[in-house]
Amino acid sequence: MSRSRTERLVNLVICLLATRRFLTAAQIALTVPGYEHDPEDPREHDAFQRKFERDKAELRDLGVPLETGTASVFDTEPGYRIARREYALPDIHLEPEEAAAIGIAARLWRNAGLAAAASSGLTKLRAAGVEVDPTTTLGVEPVVTVDPAFEPLTSAVRAGQAVTFGYRTPEADAAATRKLQPWGVVCWRGRWYVVGHDLDRGATRCFRLSRIVGGVRRIGRPGAYEPPRDVDLIDHVARWSGPVERTKQASVLVRPGRADGIRRWAQEIVAGPDGDRMVLGYADVDQFAAWLVGYGADVVVLDPPEVRECVIGRLREIAAQHPATEPAVRPEGVPA
């Protein structure tokens, strides 16, 4: 659904919720942005009628209780309104831990470049009487890193607008220019991908965001296309990327009784006085290092150097994002 149509549907819902009487199509056309037309022009009026019929069907498909009726027995044209008693949400009750989890999710998405969506979600919850504290962490600090192309591509998806960008593959020395109608941005195996219709090739394609060079520039007009509804973006990326062949090996030292996820993938485990030495297979250094970093101090990379250096680099990036606070100065004479 294009952004312009989405906004028109939202405005239509707001309009029909704000009144208790039935509004005719003509009254709605004068009130709701997106329905402007000249009722005396047969072509414009027919176009409005078709648009309005599609929007009514869309609202009913979404479960919006749209009623049809008349304000009085003298009215000859039917009107429309939304049954508020059926549309209203039930009271939302969250436990403190659940509200804190929502706060963490909102902070995570803010870091991921979706600040507007996170803010909108929190606003709706507060409007429903739910207190959500986005500063609560429960001892967890969400760290999400996305590629620079993430925000402009997700914005283009919402606007229904094509984009162009430079794209470099491992086999090519120079970046090639691509033109794409983006359908969505998804994460697969720790990587972000955009899926859409390649305008030059006339086929569905997906591109890894980390391989996009330079900026992402919008082309064409907003709302020029609508993404297909029957496409599974994750499935398309999975089929495009193919199976992962873990031909390389790494040795790590794991604290006894910790990091169960790593233990499940270990090809070999040897217990020792300082911890359990494990051998793991991997394919991509960056992706493998990002996975190991998630286990914190429970895992130490022994070899190879490329994995160890990549893990250290990622830990330094995290440390730079969260500088340590200066210790409080102890008053003189107070024992440690």
What pLDDT does residue 194 have? 92
What pLDDT does residue 301 have? 93
| Separation of first and last alpha carbons in the chain | 63
Q: Render pLDDT for 19-54 as a digit per residue (tens, 0 to 9).
A: 778 888 888 888 888 888 888 888 888 889 998 998
81-84 contact pairs (CB < 8 A, 24+)? 81/16, 81/19, 81/20, 81/21, 81/22, 81/23, 82/13, 82/16, 82/17, 84/17
Distances (CA, A) of 248 to 155, 207, 284, 285, 292: 38, 25, 9, 9, 15
Which range, 29-38, 106-115, 164-173, 297-306, is most confident? Answer: 297-306
Rounded to whole angstroms, the maximal C-alpha distance in the chain is 91
Whether pLDDT at 223 is above 60: yes
Helix (H, G, I), strand (E, B) or coil at 40: coil
* Residue recorded with tokens 């009026």: 45
Of 212 and 241, which is predicted with more confidence?
212
The predicted model gives 300-324 an average pLDDT of 85
In this prediction, residue 178 has a pLDDT band, given cuts at 50, 70 and 90, of: very high
> In whole numbers, what is the pLDDT of the chain averaged over residues?
78
Report whether 249 contacts 288 (CB < 8 A). no
pTM: predicted TM-score of the whole model, two decimal places: 0.41
